[in-house]
Amino acid sequence: MRIGMVATRIAGVDGVTFETAKWEHVLERMGHEVRLLGGEVDALRPNARLVPAMHFAHPPAARVTAAAFDPDSDPDAVRTEIDRLATQLVPVIENWIESQRIELIIVENAWAIPMQLPLAVALRRIVEVGGMPAIGHHHDYWWERARFASCIVPDVLEAVFPPDLPNVRHVSINSLAARELRRRRSIASAVVPNVFDFSAGRPRPHPAVRRRLRHELGMGERGLLVVQPTRVVPRKGIELAIDLVGRLRDRHAVLLITSPAGDEGLEYLVELERVAESHGVNLQYAADRFAPDLEGKPLRPAHSLHDAYLAADLVTYPSLYEGYGNALVEAIFYGRPLLVNRYSVYEADIRPLGFKFVEIDGAITPSTVREVRRILVDAPYRRRVARHNFAIGERHLSYEVLQRRLARWIRKLTP
């Protein structure tokens, strides 16, 4: 089939972009042809079409979306502007569908989190009127974000986030979200976690990559390299990673942040820099050094996240909330020791699988420090933990799991 994947952004190192690329890879492995459509797309993607008006930062869309959550705005004016912008997008998207001969659409998060209201409305109209089969891949819903709690056009949220249509199959990335979608909207959704290509086998150590990255960070052979492989937004809990590194008392240690700040402003990054200074921690924000891993060939001189994992002594993942946990799955694949905060989805969907991590409950304790030191010092124990975690990931979080489910949904949607 010709399958189209649509999102506001298919670029950079955010979780939606990563999972979109994984679904794209699996679909192509199944023999389908995949085409991409987004408001931002990575360079060198010949199968992608760029439509800047679909981006959540496109000024007219950003203004009306902000107004929709501003109690001082006029609801009728907001509805009129959403309709106007959606009407402009419909023929653009329809032209792409026709020219690319798309037979199935996968909507990546644009029907879940209301960051681009006109796009969501336009996609619903197209799918509803044309009857095209669609899959809504929902990474985080609007009710999971405090800033979307109050909306002056709740009818738009009810109709589009997500749309309840007979030709649309819904996918949530965790069981809590699926349960809440059913409670709020009486809409059923399959649960598909974040996945990784475990069939590639456990990656081997790469001393040259480790040396090169440490050199660029001003490190020698001494000192821990602790990697925080997430964007810089408050829900990532990065201050807990700073606290841990400070308590490890390694004056040569570096805490490396690989992914960008800015999606929710730069205030949090400034605060983290202040906290790191007060803890005596060498915090290095190096998002400019890390490009998306495009089939293992990032644009040089940038590194890929692959390099960061290979070089890491420890990965920190102290998130307060996650839809699932891309960096967690990646750390499992690369066999890195992992510190994880017991956020709600972790407790519900990941912890029961039996992984072995250093766990915290919202705070770094002396016990946490002892556990981290043990896994860093005891190499045989560290290798046993890595093998154990990889085996569980291979069984529950692999491309093969995703492929089986995609095949089943496509059969049901396209008899």
pLDDT single digits (tens) 316-335: 999 999 999 999 999 999 99
How does residue 206 score in pLDDT terms, banded at 50, 70 and 90? Answer: confident
Kindly tell me if the per-residue pLDDT of 248 is higher than 60.
Answer: yes
Kindly tell me if the per-residue pLDDT of 70 is higher than 90.
Answer: yes
Among 47, 53, 136, 127, CA closest to 94: 127
pLDDT in tens, 128-185: 999 999 999 999 999 998 889 899 999 999 999 999 999 999 999 999 999 999 999 9
Q: What's the whole-number mean pLDDT along residues 85-93? A: 98
Among 252, 258, 376, CA closest to 314: 376
Overall CATH class of domain 2-195+399-413? alpha beta
Mean pLDDT, the chain, rounded, equals 93
Kindly tell me if the per-residue pLDDT of 115 is higher than 70.
Answer: yes
Model pLDDT, residue 302 = 63
284-312 burial by CB neighbour count: b if 16+ within 10 A, else e?
bbbbebbbbbeeeebeeeebbbbbbbbbb
Model pLDDT, residue 60 = 98
Model pLDDT, residue 293 = 54
Here the contacts of 174-183 (C-beta below 8 Å, separation 24 or greater) are 174/323, 174/324, 174/345, 174/348, 174/349, 175/348, 175/349, 176/344, 176/345, 176/348, 176/349, 177/138, 177/140, 177/141, 177/144, 177/323, 177/345, 180/141, 180/143, 181/138, 181/141
Overall CATH class of domain 198-396? alpha beta
Kindly tell me if the per-residue pLDDT of 204 is higher than 50.
Answer: yes
How far, in Å, CA of 247 to CA of 128, rounded?
56
* Residue partners of 332: CB distance under 8 A and separation at least 6: 196, 338, 355, 389, 390, 392, 393, 397
Q: Are strands 104-108 and 48-50 parallel, antiparallel or unpaired?
A: unpaired
Q: What's the whole-number mean pLDDT along residues 180-199? A: 95
Phi-psi region of 201 (alpha: psi -120 to 50; beta: other; left: phi over 0): left
How does residue 205 score in pLDDT terms, banded at 50, 70 and 90? Answer: confident
Model pLDDT, residue 294 = 46
Q: What's the whole-number mean pLDDT along residues 353-368? A: 97
Q: What's the whole-number mean pLDDT along residues 328-354? A: 96
Helix (H, G, I), strand (E, B) or coil at 208: helix
pLDDT in tens, 274-300: 999 999 999 999 888 876 554 445 445
Q: Are strands 168-172 and 254-257 parallel, antiparallel or unpaired?
A: unpaired
How much of the chain, in percent, has pLDDT values that exceed 70?
Answer: 97
Q: Are strands 134-138 and 338-341 parallel, antiparallel or unpaired?
A: unpaired
Kindly tell me if the per-residue pLDDT of 27 is higher than 80.
Answer: yes
For the chain, give every residue range classified as CATH 3.40.50.2000. Answer: 2-195+399-413, 198-396
Among 309, 310, 304, 308, CA closest to 292: 304
How does residue 263 score in pLDDT terms, banded at 50, 70 and 90? Answer: low
**The tokens of 237 are what?**
């809990």
